[in-house]
A and B are shown apart, each in its own frame.
Chain A
Amino acid sequence: MNNLINITIDGKKYQAHEGKNLVEAAKENGIYIPTLCHFHEINPPLGTCRICTVSVNGKTTTSCTTKVYEGMEVEINTPELLNTRKAIIEMLYAEGNHFCPSCEKSGNCELQNLGYDMGITNSRFPHVYSNKVVDFTSDRMIMESNRCILCKRCVEEIKTKDGKDVFSFVSRGVKTRVHIDYEQEKKLTDAEAMHAMSICPVGAILVKGMIYEQPFGDRKYDISGTLKETEIHTDFIKRNDENKFIVATTSLAGCFGCHMSLLDIDLEILDILEIVEFNKSPLTDIKKFSKRCDIGLIEGGCANSENIEVLKEFRKKCDILVAFGECAIMGGIPAMRNFVPLKECLEEAYIHGLTSEIGTNIIPNHEDIPKLLNNVYPCNEIVKIDYYIPGCPPNANHIWKVVKNILLNEEYSITHEEFKYD
């Protein structure tokens, strides 16, 4: 273990202790390899999340399961490997139901932090929206399967004193879930239960009453983070002539929060009005497009037939479409209804709900009222979206930086505070 050996990482020579795992060996040399399932106490390494995929002597493998040896040639940050690792995170987002704005772990979540680190604005993969349960049965714990990334940490780490598993994988393939054994869970001490919550890299294991420990702003990943140099989308750069740029905005199935944020740039809006003219938009109350627009800003996803019509019209009338806010990007809070049968939603809202008058039994329904879709859809599953601005709501500066970049070809970077999913 104490033998120093030579390894090459991305063409540079380093020394490391023989037999040390590659994640640790790289770290000691100041090189960061992202991980999710890996944490130092766990041995043997789990190798489940695949985020630490690198290339060793020309073959891709995971760093956490690789021990370094003399002469090892490692590639970590090639464009291809960076892309593969990013894709894995995006796939985790697409397979789970990660509504960051409503998640207790937001700000302390390792998955989210990797998303920030990699500058992920949306997932290249379509959302799976598979039905996953939130299990409140246990007296002490909540198992929020929507967020579980199946890293297996809890399965391997949390055992009762007599050595029994408290968590286990159940089923296989896309149907694989982690379930709790209620009886065994009772045997855990409070400290052990808290440990379970803390080793879960995401917000899947929650201990009731112990959840909001830190306020916004003080959370682990609120504080640390990097500046994101955002890639310049040169293909979007617009002409710059005498005329003002024309911008349209709309709110589909959203809460108007994104529009409020848009106004949050305060006085700067005056500068913007110098170069921008708003067409169809709730800001101007112009209801119909009167010209072709340079940019269309879309808030909210598609929950009903009217949203679809509006979105399609925007696609036709605008050169560039920008989805801003989580709802437009991935369905957001309205998409949480995707896991409840539509009929139940309607009955709850209009018939059994506390606020509906007893005996009325009416579900508003008229040819002029838009029809609800079977699911809430992210905008990019209906039309092509050119640009995404994450956040719930997105930071005002972030929105305007993007818009200015598109219109004026201005370089910009996003600070950690401006890049948020919640």
Chain B
Amino acid sequence: MFLIMVTKENALQRSNLLNVLWDIQRKRRFISRDDMKKIAKEFSISMIELEGVISFYHFFHLQNAGKYTIYLNCSTISQHKDYQAVKKTFQDELGVLIGNVTKDNLFGFFKTSCIGLSDQETSALINNYPFTNLTPKKVKTIISKLKKGQSLESLSNYPKDNIKYRPEKDAKTIFFKTYTKGEGLKQLVSLKPEDVIDLISKSKLSGRGGAFFPTGMKWKLCRNNKSDQKYIICNADEGEPGTFKDRVLMNKYPGLLIEGMTIAGYAVGATEGTIYLRAEYLYLKDKIEAAIKDFEEAGLLGKNILGLKGFDFKVTVQLGAGAYICGEETALIASMEGKRGEPTTKEYFPVEKGFLGKPTVVNNVETLCTVPRILEMGLENYLKIGTKQTPGTKLLSVSGDCKKPGVYEIEWGMKLKDFLNLIEAEDPHVVLFNGFSGECLSEVDFDREISGENLLAEHIQFKFNDPIEYSRKMSGVGLRSGGSFMVFNKKRDLIGILKNITKFFVAESCGICVPCRTGNFLLNKKINKIMFGHAELKDLEEIREWSFIIKQSSRCGLGKTSTNCLLTAMLKFPEEFKKHLTAESNFNHSFNIENAVENYNTIIQEIESTYE
């Protein structure tokens, strides 16, 4: 029944549900009640549970989303480029407002958050084909050609890699240098699994997805859990706004990733690996799968790899369906199991009970790509690069107000101000470091280095009240980022940026816990209040109080970090907030009687004319 991705043997497994839904969504442009009935029956689940899954992911639709489904990126960086004009042109050309489908069901026009193309905004996806550097003119051409029946494939532009920098010498470079297939993997011939774990532990490699959990320790914990089956999952969900380095890695070095996963499998005793690829990167899927095939043919995947008896490993690609929260590892696992992407309570970690209840390692693309390089160049050489706590290099995805947006491979330990020079930042004022869940940096931070040295506990870092105290305590503290680096000049409206951020978290909260679900929603309203000039000092105090409550009591990392940017922005740019404030009073300025009775006035007129 469902043809594209489903084979007979796996058809009824729950973990295949997302694939089935994708097949139908792509073929029919939505998932109808009739299709749902069939699917529910096949998978033996109730209709409502199925609807729960479908409605969780924003690329699945219950109503026709158009033969061509357009998703325009509404993230800050896109807004600062041509978003408004591009949006208007789409609306004019299609004759529908954003969020709607044309009458003939030819086009559906929606917005979406960051799609991993921040270095080539304004960008959009049409049926998941990428369209970059959009201008009103380009939009007109695209729409008219699509109407004439030209194929999406021929019109779309494959994203550029935009690798802008790497350390001068190969010896200082980890990623962006010549790659020879199997070079890293081959080293396993002389290494026992324990040796690999030992090596990775000594390399101090830590999670590049942004949480910086020590990779060696994660693998060791997984190895120590006895089980008949274990899994390696590559987290290629890359949902943090402003990040796109994983996209570039997978596009340029898919082999490196496959090797990294295979080595991880060898180390922990897993025989199956899955790359959970965000649906926004569908265009990378064929390329990755071709590389997998290539590896299989070369005997670098499959059974008895490298001739090592019993070293079996296979890699598959699983497509996500549009949910930032699915980058959180337990939500990702739930999603792979064909469920709603809700994070679990951390009663167990994935290394204990992960995918299908089996011990599972979840690692970021960049983390896994580092592994074969460490093996290839040897621990000693690797430790010569970077700083003591963070050896090696880091990939940063740069966007915003600078001359050279793109991907940078830098040695850990570079000063922030040197990095700003490198990217040719124009009058840098605010840096969003580590994405929307990261923090706001200002001039006082420009002397700090990008590294994992002298870190402070997180609850200290976000509790400063006083900017002077902050700069004194934080001056020697390193800065770590999963990879997002967005820079803004003085002309950019900080409150507008924060509004975009809070809106993002409102849209992306999974909804399972109240502090995140409603707390972020209320904060977004507060930001609007500031923007309209209705806020008083009291509102700023409330924002701070509520932010801490959300941070303290949320169930997962999303809610725990969603207010970081807001809190750090309030600390470092108080004047940006104060300039919007109105005087303290006993009356709420956001209530406006004219607006409140406007509706009544029009209704009275309408009713009078209807019944006359």
**Chain A residues in the interface with B (C-beta under 8 A):** 44-50, 53, 58-60, 62, 65, 83-84, 87-88, 91-92, 94-95, 124-126, 128, 149-150, 152, 160, 162-176, 179-181, 183-184, 305, 308, 312, 315, 342-343, 346-347, 351, 361, 363, 365, 371-375, 377, 381-384
Q: A184–B41 Cα gap in the complex (Å)?
A: 13
Distance of B50 from chain A, by nearest CB (Å): 8
Q: A128–B510 Cα gap in the complex (Å)?
A: 18
Q: A169 to B518, Cβ gap below 8 A? A: no
Distance of A9 from chain B, by nearest CB (Å): 18
Q: A152–B512 Cα gap in the complex (Å)?
A: 8
Q: A49–B56 Cα gap in the complex (Å)?
A: 20
Distance of B61 from chain A, by nearest CB (Å): 13
CB-CB under 8 A for A65 and B347, given A60-B552, A126-B525, A169-B52 = yes
Q: A87 to B48, Cβ gap below 8 A? A: no
Contact of A374 among B552, B598, B607 (CB under 8 A): B598
A173: which B residues are within 8 A, CB to CB? 506-511, 517, 521
B598: which A residues are within 8 A, CB to CB? 374
Contact with A along B454-481 (1 / 0, CB 8 A): 0000010000000000000000000000
Distance of B462 from chain A, by nearest CB (Å): 13
For A171, the closest partner residue in chain B by CB is B55
Q: A87 to B549, Cβ gap below 8 A? A: yes
Q: A95–B513 Cα gap in the complex (Å)?
A: 12
A58: which B residues are within 8 A, CB to CB? 459
Contact with A along B302-343 (1 / 0, CB 8 A): 000000000000000000000100000000000000001010
Q: Which of B120-128, B571-579, B587-595 contacts A (4 or more CB under 8 A)?
A: B587-595
Contact of B554 among A50, A149, A150, A315 (CB under 8 A): A50
For B556, the closest partner residue in chain A by CB is A47
Q: B600 to A170, Cβ gap below 8 A? A: no
Q: Assess whether B46 is interfacial by the CB under 8 Å rule.
A: yes
A374: which B residues are within 8 A, CB to CB? 595-600
Contact with A along B10-48 (1 / 0, CB 8 A): 000000000000000000000000000000000011111
Q: Assess whether B514 is interfacial by the CB under 8 Å rule.
A: yes
Q: A91 to B518, Cβ gap below 8 A? A: yes
Q: A371 to B514, Cβ gap below 8 A? A: no
Q: A125 to B522, Cβ gap below 8 A? A: yes
A169: which B residues are within 8 A, CB to CB? 52, 340, 342, 511-512
Selected A-B contacts with CB under 8 Å, 22 pairs: A44-B347, A49-B514, A53-B552, A126-B525, A128-B521, A163-B44, A165-B46, A165-B48, A167-B48, A169-B342, A169-B512, A172-B56, A172-B340, A174-B517, A361-B612, A363-B608, A371-B600, A371-B601, A374-B596, A374-B597, A381-B591, A384-B585
Q: Assess whether B111 is interfacial by the CB under 8 Å rule.
A: no
Q: A293–B425 Cα gap in the complex (Å)?
A: 60
Q: Which of B495-526 contact A (CB under 8 A)?
A: 506-515, 517-519, 521-522, 525
Distance of A287 from chain B, by nearest CB (Å): 22
- How many chain B residues sit at the interface, stated as a range, is 35 or more
For B509, the closest partner residue in chain A by CB is A173
Q: Assess whether B555 is interfacial by the CB under 8 Å rule.
A: yes
Contact of A91 among B459, B515, B525 (CB under 8 A): B515
For A51, the closest partner residue in chain B by CB is B553
For A86, the closest partner residue in chain B by CB is B549
Contact of A181 among B47, B593, B601, B611 (CB under 8 A): B47
Q: A174 to B47, Cβ gap below 8 A? A: no
For B521, the closest partner residue in chain A by CB is A174
Contact of B586 among A62, A94, A315 (CB under 8 A): A315
- Of residues B45, B514, B549, which shows the largest number of chain A Cβ atoms within 10 Å of its Cβ? B514
Contact of B48 among A176, A179, A346, A381 (CB under 8 A): A179
Q: Assess whether B604 is interfacial by the CB under 8 Å rule.
A: yes
Contact with A along B531-572 (1 / 0, CB 8 A): 000000000001000100100111100000000000000000
Q: A173–B519 Cα gap in the complex (Å)?
A: 11
Q: Assess whether B49 is interfacial by the CB under 8 Å rule.
A: yes
A343: which B residues are within 8 A, CB to CB? 603, 606-607
Q: A94–B518 Cα gap in the complex (Å)?
A: 9
Q: A276–B255 Cα gap in the complex (Å)?
A: 85
A62: which B residues are within 8 A, CB to CB? 345, 555
- Of residues B51, B517, B600, which shows the largest number of chain A Cβ atoms within 10 Å of its Cβ? B600
Q: Assess whether B346 is interfacial by the CB under 8 Å rule.
A: yes
Q: A88 to B514, Cβ gap below 8 A? A: yes
CB-CB under 8 A for A48 and B587, given A88-B553, A184-B48, A343-B603 = no
Distance of B582 from chain A, by nearest CB (Å): 14
Q: B603 to A342, Cβ gap below 8 A? A: yes
For B348, the closest partner residue in chain A by CB is A44
Distance of B240 from chain A, by nearest CB (Å): 18
B585: which A residues are within 8 A, CB to CB? 384
For B458, the closest partner residue in chain A by CB is A59
- Of residues A171, A174, A305, which shows the largest number of chain B Cβ atoms within 10 Å of its Cβ? A174
Distance of B172 from chain A, by nearest CB (Å): 38
Distance of B515 from chain A, by nearest CB (Å): 6
A183: which B residues are within 8 A, CB to CB? 46-47
CB-CB under 8 A for A88 and B510, given A167-B48, A381-B591 = no
- Of residues B509, B519, B607, B612, which shows the largest number of chain A Cβ atoms within 10 Å of its Cβ? B607
A170: which B residues are within 8 A, CB to CB? 48, 51-52, 55
